[in-house]
Copies of this chain bind each other. A is one copy, B any other.
Amino acid sequence: MPCRSVTKLMCLGNHVASLTFLRGSPLLPIHTSSCNFSTKPKYGFKPEKVAVVTKTTRYEFEQQRYRYAGLSEEDLKQLLAMKGSSYSGLLERHNIHTSNVEHVVKSLQKEGIEVKVVKRGEYDTEVVQWADAIISAGGDGTMLLVASKVLSKDKPVVGVNTDPERSEGHLCLPVKYTRKFPEALGKLCRGEFRWQWRQRIRLHLEGTGINPTPLDLHEQQLSLEQHSQAHRITTMDHQQKTGTLNESFSNSSLLPVRSLNEIFIGESLSSRASYYEISVDDGPWEKQKSSGLSICTGTGSKAWSYNINKLAEQAVNEILKIGKCQTGLAIPLNLEFIEKITDEYNESLVFSPEDRHLFFSIREPIVNRVFSSSRQRGFASKVCVRSRCWDACMVVDGGSSFEFNDGAIATISMSDDDQLRTVVLHN
């Protein structure tokens, strides 16, 4: 009889226990305290002032990059062609984006809403304070940036996917509203939506050599060199302000960021192994060596964490084949069945954005005489990590980077106060 439940795994030491969820219901572990925030709006939502934050298109990016080198538009075309890229393709995507932004802006203005259009580089807390609501006009990356500066759980953030053909837009409104934005506005006005509060992660940092000033990675131009250089500059600034040596021990400070997707901890250089110690839910400390650590929210369980943990059909096929061989049982190995098992496995990695749990995953754990890994992944309420790294970082939503070197201790947790208010429109 086909199984109706989706199982999620929690490893406890060498024993394996599981939490079972009914297929089809929101993936809430049984023991989560229920959310106290009402999801039904009392009235419709009609903001007076809306900030529209726009992404930088690849075309604009390449233009800026080569303008500094004094190249003409024609030079740019040839250069891109030589690299195998298409100038006209980039321009087309740029025009699609700007036209979709115009559509959103006009739709808002038609309703008598005051609109401020802000490029991502100009977006700051002043804009957040001014606006009653903020619209992200771009893809998921832009949405993460917009959310990163909203620390209050009262300010609604709405994402519009301005290039549905190229962008996944998991965090954005369904793509049908991109060219029919008045429909979305209408539903907001009439209360035909529900609020969705997405849980986020908060970070405390303490120990030696820490610097609570993050580096903004959103400026994609940053090479490795600039990344570390900038880390060093913010560290020196911090030292000047506080009068402390980089090596002094600092007490725990709550960082001024909240993570909507995930925190990644590891060496900045992708080819270098990361060394650290980890304690889950105040459990025993474990020394680990790996390619880094990801700690995600329910929202983020569809993002990087998903890619770290998902399995390819190739791997599932091999496991079932070995299982079949070892047991002699008639385990099917046709493509359809393999796809089914693979999909069910991968789906079990995703959980609700409203779930107040962290999900940690160790990338490529190295297990030998010195380093252990009792659990490669699992749920937690709190994760503590002590860096034993040389030149590592703590990256928030792929956008802000904190130095996290030898001796620094991070405490990763969640609080209802940090939730992000988003909307889910009725169908």
* A residues with CB within 8 A of B: 1-3, 5, 7, 9, 11, 14-16, 18, 79, 82-85, 165-166, 168, 207-208, 217, 220, 222-229, 231-232, 247, 249, 264, 266-272, 290-292, 304, 307-309, 311-323, 325-332, 335, 337-338, 340-341, 344-345, 348, 364-366, 368-370, 373, 375-377, 386, 388, 390-391, 393, 395, 398, 401, 406-407
Q: Of the candidates B18, B268, B325, which one forms a contact with A321 in the assembled complex, judged by CB atoms under 8 Å apart?
A: B18
Residues of B within 8 A of A304 (CB): 364
Are A292 and B270 touching (Cβ within 8 A)?
Answer: yes
Cβ-defined contact, A319 with B341, below 8 A = yes
A326 in contact with B368 (CB, 8 Å): no
> Nearest-CB distance from A396 to chain B (Å)?
10
Q: A228-B225, A315-B311 are in contact. Are A14 and B341 (CB under 8 A)?
A: no
Report the copy number of this chain in the oligomer.
2
B271:A264 contact, CB within 8 angstroms? yes
Tell me if A269 and B271 are in contact (CB < 8 A): no
Q: How far is the CB of A72 from chain B (nearest CB, A)?
A: 14
Q: A247-B79, A270-B292, A335-B14 are in contact. Are A341 and B323 (CB under 8 A)?
A: yes
24 CB-based A-B contacts, threshold 8 Å: A2-B325, A7-B322, A82-B208, A83-B207, A83-B406, A166-B369, A217-B272, A222-B269, A224-B228, A225-B231, A225-B232, A228-B228, A264-B270, A268-B270, A270-B270, A270-B393, A290-B307, A311-B319, A314-B375, A316-B319, A318-B345, A319-B319, A319-B320, A327-B332
Query: Do A376 and B314 form a contact, CB below 8 Å, given A83-B208, A225-B225?
Result: yes
Compute how far the CA of A332 lies from the CA of B368 in the bound complex, rounded to whole angstroms. 27
Contact B307 A365 (CB under 8 A): yes
Minimum CB–CB distance for A208 against chain B, Å: 5
With beta carbons under 8 angstroms apart, the residue of B345, B364, B370 that contacts A308 is: B364
Could you say which of B166, B220, B319, B391 contacts A390, with CB atoms under 8 Å apart? B220
Closest chain B residue to A376, Cβ basis: B312
Among A18, A291, A322, the one with the most B-chain Cβ atoms within 10 Å of its Cβ is: A322
Residues of B within 8 A of A366 (CB): 307
Q: Which residue of B lies closest to A362 (CB)?
A: B312
Query: A323 to B85, alpha carbons, bound, how many Å?
Result: 44
Interchain CA distance A322-B23 in the complex, whole Å: 13
- Nearest CB on B from A420, distance (A): 21
Smallest CB-CB A-B distances: 4 pairs: A225-B228, A3-B325, A83-B407, A312-B376
CB-CB < 8 A to A84: which residues of B?
Answer: 386, 407
Chain B residues positioned under 8 Å from A318 (CB to CB): 7, 9, 345, 348
> Which chain B residue lies CB-closest to A392?
B270
Contact A271 B3 (CB under 8 A): no
Q: How far is the CA of A151 from the CA of B168 in the complex (A)?
A: 47
Q: Given A314-B16, A317-B9, A322-B344, do A224 and B391 touch, yes or no (CB 8 Å)?
A: yes
Chain B residue at minimal CB-CB distance from A6: B322
Q: Which residue of B lies closest to A227 (CB)?
A: B224
| Contact A227 B269, CB 8 Å, known A82-B247, A317-B16 | yes
Further 7 A-B residue pairs, CB within 8 A, beyond A165-B369, A323-B323: A3-B322, A82-B407, A166-B370, A267-B270, A290-B307, A319-B345, A327-B331
Contact A249 B82 (CB under 8 A): yes
- The reply to whether B271 and A398 form a contact with Cβ atoms under 8 Å apart is yes
Chain B residues whose C-beta falls within 8 Å of the C-beta of A364 in the assembled complex: 304, 307-308
CA distance A3 to B319 in the complex (A): 13
Min CB distance A250 to B, Å, is: 11
Residues of B within 8 A of A82 (CB): 208, 247, 249, 407
